[in-house]
């Protein structure tokens, strides 16, 4: 129970990687709030599941791109639990397409959700963390930030910005006992990637050193470590969790 007594907020926590992160933090003893965008059924199911395991957790509907809501949610967590120790910025979307055919709407949707939300939630959480002189911020990036993928200029740009943000903020708040890190998943099998897995799963696995697709728990375990006191001397780091997908020349 390495997170006993800690409180956490996870954005986009009702499914996929976010759901696994909520599970991992709660399993280690943290009180966990998480956001969901539209799938109330999945969010409520997760709350009930964890409550049966005697974990303290609650879900809040929120659009990750809504800055006012971000500040409201941080205030809610601090009011309810008197502190916020851990912030995991996981919420994200994809709207892939080649740049020549990409609409401004799809560009902005991804930038607003995947990058601007990081600013909003960190901006809201940093003051109570600085007052407490401790905190853990973990931003979920992607190997696409470093290596790129055709059809993902919006996604890669957002994740690249997230990694630069992570390094700068780490330098700003380290002296106040706050660490800021990112986790960059490789190819993780989730409902978001199901179509790709069905079409090219075996070919993708051949490119991965450990010869398997990643699981959401692989990312959640890394986040759990970075959220703990065991990682107190790690900050400004982007931890790649991809099974060796990007070794050498990369993807």
Q: pTM value?
A: 0.94
Is there a domain that residue 119 lies in? yes
Is residue 193 over pLDDT 80?
Answer: no
Q: Is 155 a catalytic residue?
A: yes
Mean pLDDT of 243-251: 74
With respect to residue 209, please indicate whether it lies within any of the assigned structural domains: yes
Percentage of residues in the chain having pLDDT higher than 70 = 94
Q: Is 70 a domain residue?
A: yes
Residue 250 in any domain: the answer is no
Q: Is the confidence at residue 207, as pLDDT, over 60?
A: yes
Question: Of 251 and 247, which is predicted with more confidence?
Answer: 247
At 61, give phi and psi (nearest 5°).
-75, 130
pLDDT at 249 over 60: no
Residue 196 falls inside a structural domain: yes
Comparing 38-52, 194-208, 233-247, which segment has the lowest mean pLDDT? 194-208
Tell whether 249 is covered by a domain. no
Given 121, 147, 155, 233, which residue is catalytic? 155
Looking at the domain assignment, is residue 161 inside a domain?
Answer: yes
Model confidence pLDDT, tens digit, residues 29-84: 999 999 999 999 999 999 999 999 999 999 999 999 999 999 999 999 999 999 99
- For residue 181, the cross-strand partners are 138
| Residue 142: count of CB within 10 angstroms of its CB | 28
CATH number at residue 205: 3.40.50.720
Please indicate, yes or no, if residue 1 is contained in any of the structural domains.
no
Range of the domain at 22: 7-241
The count of domains in the chain is 1
């Amino acid at each position: 129970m390495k997170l006993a007594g800690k409180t956490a907020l996870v954005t986009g926590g009702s499914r996929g990687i976010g759901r696994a992160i909520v599970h991992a933090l709660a399993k280690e003893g943290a009180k966990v709030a998480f956001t969901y965008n539209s799938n109330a059924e999945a969010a409520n199911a997760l709350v009930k599941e964890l409550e049966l395991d005697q974990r303290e957790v609650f879900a809040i509907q929120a659009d990750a791109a809504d800055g006012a809501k971000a500040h409201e949610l941080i205030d809610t967590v601090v009011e309810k639990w008197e502190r916020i120790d851990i912030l995991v910025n996981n919420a994200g979307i994809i709207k892939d397409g080649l740049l020549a055919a990409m609409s401004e709407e799809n560009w902005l949707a991804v930038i607003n959700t995947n990058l601007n939300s990081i600013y909003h939630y960190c901006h809201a959480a940093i003051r109570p963390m600085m007052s407490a002189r401790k905190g853990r911020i973990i931003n979920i990036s992607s190997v696409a930030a470093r290596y790129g993928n055709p059809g993902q200029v919006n996604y890669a740009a957002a994740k690249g910005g997230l990694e630069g943000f992570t390094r700068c903020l780490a330098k700003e708040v380290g002296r106040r006992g706050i660490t800021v890190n990112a986790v960059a998943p490789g190819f993780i099998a989730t409902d978001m990637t199901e179509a790709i897995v069905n079409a090219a799963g075996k070919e993708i696995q051949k490119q991965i050193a450990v010869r398997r697709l990643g699981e959401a728990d692989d990312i959640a375990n890394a986040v759990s470590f970075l959220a703990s006191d065991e990682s107190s001397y790690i900050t400004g780091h982007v931890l790649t969790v991809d099974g060796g997908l990007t070794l050498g020349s990369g993807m």
